[in-house]
Structure 1
Amino acid sequence: MSHTLPNDPTQVAKIMLSWHDLELISCTTIQTLWAGYGQICAITARANTPESSNHLSKLCGVEPRAAGFTYNLILKLISPPRASADEGHLRKMLSYEVEQRFYSDVVPLLDEEVHVAKCLASTRDLVSGSRDEEQLAGIMATIMIDLRDAFPVMGGKRSALSSVQVHGALDWLAAFHRCSWALLPDSMDGYVLPPLQEHRRRESGDGVGDGLWLNGGYTYLATRMKEYTALSEDDDSEWSECMCTEGENGLSLAETVAVFLSPRGRAIESYIHGDVKSENLFTSKKGDEVAFFDFQYVGLGLGVCDLAKLFTCSVPLEMLVDEDVVDNFPERLEMCDGESELLKRYHEKLVRDKKSDFYEWGTFLRHWETALVDWCRFQASWGFWGNTEWLEARVRAIIHDKAWTGWLYENVDGRGFVRDFSRKHDRS
């Protein structure tokens, strides 16, 4: 672009706050975004009118206040360093578009128990041809409520969560996944395709994905073929042969798993967060209530895919395995009581309002195992972190379980067709 991008957060905040009769008091950068794509700022704003104060009080979930009160808000400002057709760049830019849509279109529809920051203003609200549109050209910006007022405890680095916080995170995920069943549209045509596909669709004029991601998350195989190819050629990795070798259905294990997990309108699919980890949540002081943020990769999927990353990257190991396992991991590890208890807590809360056969425990466990295999494939091709020994030992046990492999190949044939279509679109 020939013009200079308006990447001064103070000026951006002033413009956007003015839409709601709010005055900027302070603006402090608290985090820069990955690869220099922007910044996140804490801002303080004063309400200049009773109407603006009432509106903001409602968003914050507090009693109405008179004009003159100040409020703590967050500005997420995206000012990309370059324009490119590189897959990584496209993924980031599309993810920021998706996040804006989520905050402005989906969050107002969520149940109250699904704690997410409410959106005050977004550059999606810009009026075409206005002076503000000209001033804010080339950026994406969202102003939302600062969650830290009600949820002051940051989740922190991996394995830092307490058992109470882990339970709170599971409860939030179950509520979010369950709540989203009522929000899914009948058609999947409006979702955003994988980055390169979405780019080609837009370039060809065949339309624009204007919803959330068709496939939630950022690790699924369709967007990680470079890493998958590298894994298939890595003779030093134990996962190369078992994940990448063509199997009895003409697909590799990794491809078969990816096909099964790909969204296709099954009743048990929901919106998933897509990047579940302790660094992306705040909790109450007690830790029993959780609020997630960072919804760049929110989209369709099976809820177990969110759990796979949470368990590997943020759940303390002692909550997953028996005490005698922690210091002496076997090569293959069956599910321990701790893992089972966490899964049961999530599953019970997920299906609490459903018929007993809606998402049976046995089917849920097969999906869970499949999500673990897929997550291991990504880590093996990208780099392992978190509860690595647990993940690898669990996946070795899963892929050597003839009952699981038989179930998987019964559901995915050589054409990549998934047979698990029970109760399609029936979320009663």
Structure 2
Amino acid sequence: MKQEYQDLILQTCGASSLRVGESIQTLWSGYGEIVRLHLEGCDRPSVVVKHVKFPEEAEHPRGWSTDRSHARKVRSYQVETHWYQNYSANQSCRIPASLAACSHGDEMLIVLEDLDVAGYGQRRTRVNNKEMKACLSWLAHFHALFLGVAPEGLWPVGTYWHLDTRPDELEAMEDAELKAAAGDIDRILNECSFKTIVHGDAKLANFCFSQSGRDVAAVDFQYVGGGCGMKDVVYFLGSCMEEKECEKKVPGLLDYYFAELKVSVRKDVDFSALEKEWREMFAFAWTDFHRFLLGWMPGHWKINRYSKQLTKEVLHKLRLGSETSGD
């Protein structure tokens, strides 16, 4: 790590020295890494640094290395830096505190609070109902906090699979009916009355758990932006359950999310109208992500019977709507 970066971290934290610790993970397509730095001489034992270095030749694991893909990633790190510098959450939807950020040439650095030290040191690859509810509660409080807030400096439409940013994947799709309906599905989601700021990549891997599993914090805000809260909910549920579990558990988990949302939205919000609209958007949001997967990786395990059934229902609604309007 460059000396100027080390000096910034030492000055920001009031530390006398630092030691580069373990690499927590490499960033997608070789765009850098996330490392833990151990500090001496201050009240903060460690920090986590997201060190982005744009590669001369990106290597996408799925073969999607294009100029458009690179531009999207560059923008995502700019958005994430802006998010950490200009937005904050609360204890009900905990995120790491932003300590410093800088960019120079083809490098960017974001210095963050170490959530392990803050009591969120557990990661999960599989979750039970209690842990899923902890994540859904986080999402509900997050969506309530930013309900009606304009996504200034963020993605106008959040989520990494947003249609306008994924024309290559749309072109690669073989499902002709869904391909033709993709624009309508996107428009319906974007025109919903109740908008919030969505995390945009709310998969299980981006939640950090307390020892008990009852409390969580979220990381990775590269695709944070405006939109319907259901986008985060469907992506999270799909990240931790297979088709049979979805069929069995989604209704109850959705009820739990809306119960948490109800207690956390402002009192002047017409919650019954919000819930009605977002419940209607659930299948559209799920189908929207299914559309992306079909173009991006047709053999993905998430392309299952549950997803296909929801997609079938959405396409049927669109056909009925078209017939009713006389198109």
> Same fold per TM (> 0.5)?
yes
Could you say if the C-alpha distance between residues 409 and 272 of structure 1 is closer, same or farther in structure 2, counting changes exceeding 3 Å? farther
- The AA in structure 2 aligned to 1:38 is G
- The AA in structure 2 aligned to 1:81 is P
* 1:258 alignment counterpart: 186
- The AA in structure 1 aligned to 2:188 is F
1:339-391 Cα offsets, whole Å, 9 max, x none, are 11111111122233443434133x22210011111111111111253443243
Structure 1 distance, partners of 2:91, 2:316, is 41
Q: Does 1:92 align with 2:73?
A: yes
Structure 2 distance, partners of 1:122, 1:390, is 44
* 2:167 alignment counterpart: 225
Quote how far apart the aligned CAs of 1:289 are: 0.9
Aligned counterpart in structure 1 of residue 8 of structure 2, from 3, 9, 15? 15
Quote how far apart the aligned CAs of 1:293 are: 0.4
Structure 2 distance, partners of 1:359, 1:408, is 25
- The AA in structure 1 aligned to 2:110 is T
- The AA in structure 1 aligned to 2:123 is M
Q: Is the 8 A contact 2:34 2:51 kept in 1?
A: yes
Could you say if the C-alpha distance between residues 96 and 400 of structure 1 is closer, same or farther in structure 2, counting changes exceeding 3 Å? closer
1:17-68 Cα offsets, whole Å, 9 max, x none, are 2244323331122222122211111011234xxxxxxxxxxxxxxxxxxxx5
Could you say if the C-alpha distance between residues 371 and 82 of structure 1 is closer, same or farther in structure 2, counting changes exceeding 3 Å? same
* 1:74 alignment counterpart: 48
Aligned counterpart in structure 2 of residue 147 of structure 1, from 115, 128, 151? 115
Aligned counterpart in structure 2 of residue 395 of structure 1, from 310, 321, 324? 310
Alignment of 1:258-297 (within 5 A): 258-262=186-190, 267-297=193-223
Q: Is the 8 A contact 2:182 2:291 kept in 1?
A: yes
Could you say if the C-alpha distance between residues 400 and 212 of structure 1 is closer, same or farther in structure 2, counting changes exceeding 3 Å? closer
Structure 1 distance, partners of 2:136, 2:159, is 18
**Runs of at least 4 residues off by over 6 Å:** 408-411
- The AA in structure 2 aligned to 1:242 is E
Quote how far apart the aligned CAs of 1:401 are: 4.4
Q: Does 1:301 align with 2:246?
A: no
Alignment of 1:109-124 (within 5 A): 110-123=89-102
Higher helix share: 2
- The AA in structure 2 aligned to 1:115 is R
Q: Is the 8 A contact 1:268 1:359 kept in 2?
A: yes
Q: Is the 8 A contact 2:170 2:295 kept in 1?
A: yes
Q: Structure 1 unaligned segments of length 5 or more: list them.
A: 1-7, 48-67, 125-135, 192-210, 235-239, 245-251, 323-337, 415-428
Q: Which has the larger radius of gyration?
A: 1
Q: Give the secondary-structure state (helix, strand or coil) at the position aligned to 1:365.
A: helix
Could you say if the C-alpha distance between residues 79 and 410 of structure 1 is closer, same or farther in structure 2, counting changes exceeding 3 Å? farther
Aligned counterpart in structure 2 of residue 40 of structure 1, from 34, 43, 64? 34
Q: Is the 8 A contact 1:9 1:41 kept in 2?
A: no
C-alpha RMSD of the superposition: 2.7
Quote how far apart the aligned CAs of 1:409 are: 8.2
* 1:328 alignment counterpart: none
* Mean Cα deviation higher: 74-83 or 147-156: 74-83
* 1:312 alignment counterpart: 238
Quote how far apart the aligned CAs of 1:406 are: 3.8
Could you say if the C-alpha distance between residues 89 and 385 of structure 1 is closer, same or farther in structure 2, counting changes exceeding 3 Å? same
Could you say if the C-alpha distance between residues 10 and 168 of structure 1 is closer, same or farther in structure 2, counting changes exceeding 3 Å? farther
Q: Normalising to structure 2: TM-score of the pair?
A: 0.86
Aligned residues: 313
* 2:145 alignment counterpart: 179
Q: Give the secondary-structure state (helix, strand or coil) at the position aligned to 1:181.
A: coil
Quote how far apart the aligned CAs of 1:92 are: 0.6
Structure 1 distance, partners of 2:37, 2:234, is 34
Quote how far apart the aligned CAs of 1:303 are: 0.8
Structure 1 distance, partners of 2:184, 2:215, is 37
1:389-408 Cα offsets, whole Å, 9 max, x none, are 24334325413644x65468
* 1:366 alignment counterpart: 280
Could you say if the C-alpha distance between residues 177 and 256 of structure 1 is closer, same or farther in structure 2, counting changes exceeding 3 Å? same
Quote how far apart the aligned CAs of 1:70 are: 4.4
Structure 2 distance, partners of 1:93, 1:218, is 13
Aligned counterpart in structure 1 of residue 254 of structure 2, from 334, 343, 350? 343
* 1:419 alignment counterpart: none
Could you say if the C-alpha distance between residues 10 and 294 of structure 1 is closer, same or farther in structure 2, counting changes exceeding 3 Å? farther
- The AA in structure 1 aligned to 2:158 is G
* 1:378 alignment counterpart: 292
* Mean Cα deviation higher: 373-382 or 24-33: 24-33
Q: Structure 2 unaligned segments of length 5 or more: list them.
A: 59-65
Structure 1 distance, partners of 2:31, 2:275, is 43
Q: Normalising to structure 1: TM-score of the pair?
A: 0.67
Aligned counterpart in structure 1 of residue 157 of structure 2, from 200, 206, 215? 215
